[in-house]
Structures are given as structure tokens and as C-alpha cells.
Amino acid sequence: MRVLSIQLETETGKVEDNYARAFALLQTGIGLYQPDLVLLPEGFAAYGAAVDMTPFAEPVPGPTSERFCQYSREHGVMIVFGIIRRNPQGEGHYNSAVIVDRGEIIGIYDKTHLYMDQRPEMADHNEQAIFLPGKQLGVFDTRLGRLGVLICHDGQYPEVWRCLALEGAEAIIWLLNDGDCSGWAKLHAFWNTVPVFSCNKVAVSDDGKRHGGGSIIVDVHGQPLDYAATAESFVYGEIDLKAQAGYRAEGITGPSNVFRVRRVDLYGPICRPAGQ
């Protein structure tokens, strides 16, 4: 499988410009790499623009998802992208990842673990006050394989990675709007014997400093196939998911042994609230 992660440079509040940049890079990247799977970052067009995301939330299906569907149809490619998704059942919005393939929406994952920062100056990043929480973890059967999906803060919970691996995820996609989390991606890949494909964005602050980046493609041994620092970049790797899954199934060497000697009889506290 050929995987392309588009590490996009965005400008806060310039939603239309961010979309235009993303679609231009998508077109270029598909032409250069002929990928099977393309990733774009968490809520890349609008996230961080305001505390109230109502003006930026979109329906799915809707105009943006249809445009991604068009690209996937024309090029026979699967695309996973972040979007602020309007709640179809009423008020509020989700921080979502949408999977489209060959012209169809085949999956939507709503971020389940919402970051909390109650400092007044960080109000536009206190997700508890901005988004609705998702109700289930993201595992999707696709023509490329069984894929797990995480969004940013989800990745700070080892339980989530392990659950996705135990649910049979052959690779885990991690969309980000954060600092460089490539080190975490390598560790979670190694600990769970699962390839990890992450996609972050890059932002430039008023003082000219670059933030974010660190998009990476990692194999089951925690070894990077490609990585980007803080420049707008294409991150590309070719990986055989069936062969990678074999390391876990065989449990012969390396971290894959953890799935043969797990002591599930001792793990009860993991499901209890802290302090109980």
C-alpha cells in the first residue's frame, strides 16, 4: 500500500485559503506518488480559528466532503481528512475524520477524547467547551485493510491504541493539530505491533516561528519510513499491511510477543476511574 501524508501549512481563520492550498497539494501529491491512501490533518481548514466553531462547521455529506469524494473517484484513491462536522441530530459540532474512497463516504470518526485547557488565553483550544465527544472508537473495514483512526488528543491514551490493535486494526491513522508527536507514533507502533500513519499541519506564528509538523509513517517495529519536520511536506511510504500484521500474529520476535503473554486477569484497574 502506498501512503501519502500531506503536512499542510495553514493560516488561522483563512478557511477558504486553507482548503484551496489543501486541494492543490492533493492534486500534486496524487500526481507525484500515485498513492492508495492520502491523509490530511485534523480540522485543518478551520480548527483554532475561534471558540465558537458554528460559522466553520459543515455537514457531512456536504460540499467539502463531496469535493474530496470527487478527487477519490477520479484517482481511485482513499482519502482521510479532518473536518469540523455539524451535528446532524441537533446543536453542536464534532471534530471528525472522514474517510472517502472511490467517490463514497465509507466512514466517519468523531474525536472521543477532548482536550481540556481552562486557561482563559487558551479558550480556543478547550475542546470540552467547543466540541461534542464521539461515542465510539474508530475501526473501519476498507478495501485497503482494517484501519484504526485517532484524532490528536486521542493519542495520549495508551488504552485507545491497544483497543484498536485488539480490534484488529492493521494500521492506525493519526490526524493531528499539535506539536511534533512523531516520537509517540514510533513508540505506539512498536508497543502494539501496528503501522502508524500520522498527519500534522504546520502553522506560522506572528513572530515567524513554525509550529506543528512531525508527520511520520512508521512500521510495526517502530522504524520510520518517512518523516517531516516543520516544513510543508509530502510524507510517503510503501507498506505491506498483511506482512506487517504477520509479525503480530506469529508473535515470534520483538514487541509482537506482548500479544502472547498478556495477563488480562490483572488489567481490571484500567477500566476504573483514576483513584478508585
Q: Looking at per-residue confidence, does 10 or 211 come out higher?
A: 10
- For the segment 108-134, what is each residue's pLDDT rounded down to a tens digit? 999 999 998 878 877 777 899 999 999
Contacts of 9 (CB under 8 A, 6+ apart): 21, 201, 202, 203, 204, 232
> What number is the average pLDDT over the span 3-24?
93
The full set of domains in the chain, from first to last, is 2-263 (3.60.110.10)
pLDDT above 80 for 253: no
Model pLDDT, residue 210 = 78
Can you tell me which residue has the cell 468523531?
110
- Assessment of whether the complete model's pTM goes beyond 0.85: yes
Q: What is the band of 246 on the pLDDT scale with cuts at 50, 70, 90?
A: confident
Cell numbers at 119, concatenated = 486557561
- For the segment 197-242, what is each residue's pLDDT rounded down to a tens digit? 999 999 877 677 778 999 999 999 999 999 999 999 999 999 999 8
Mean pLDDT in the chain?
A: 92
Model pLDDT, residue 121 = 77
Cell numbers at 74, concatenated = 477520479
Q: What is the band of 76 on the pLDDT scale with cuts at 50, 70, 90?
A: very high
Model pLDDT, residue 251 = 59
Cell numbers at 125, concatenated = 483550544
> What number is the average pLDDT over the span 28-35?
97
Model pLDDT, residue 104 = 97
Could you give the percent of the chain with pLDDT greater than 90?
Answer: 76
Q: What's the chain look like in SS3?
A: CEEEEEEEEECCCCHHHHHHHHHHHHHHHHHHHCCCEEECCCCCCCCCCCCCCCCCCECCCCHHHHHHHHHHHHHCCEEEEEEEEECCCCCCEEEEEEEEECCEEEEEEECCCCCCCCCHHHHHHCHHHHCCCCCCCEEEEECCEEEEEEEHHHHHCHHHHHHHHHCCCCEEEEECCCCCCHHHHHHHHHHHCCCEEEECEEEECCCCCEEECCCEEECCCCCEEEECCCCCEEEEEECCHHHHHHHHHHCCCHHHHHHCCCCHHHCHHHHCCCCC
Model pLDDT, residue 120 = 81
Model pLDDT, residue 252 = 52
Model pLDDT, residue 103 = 96
Model pLDDT, residue 217 = 98
pLDDT above 60 for 255: no
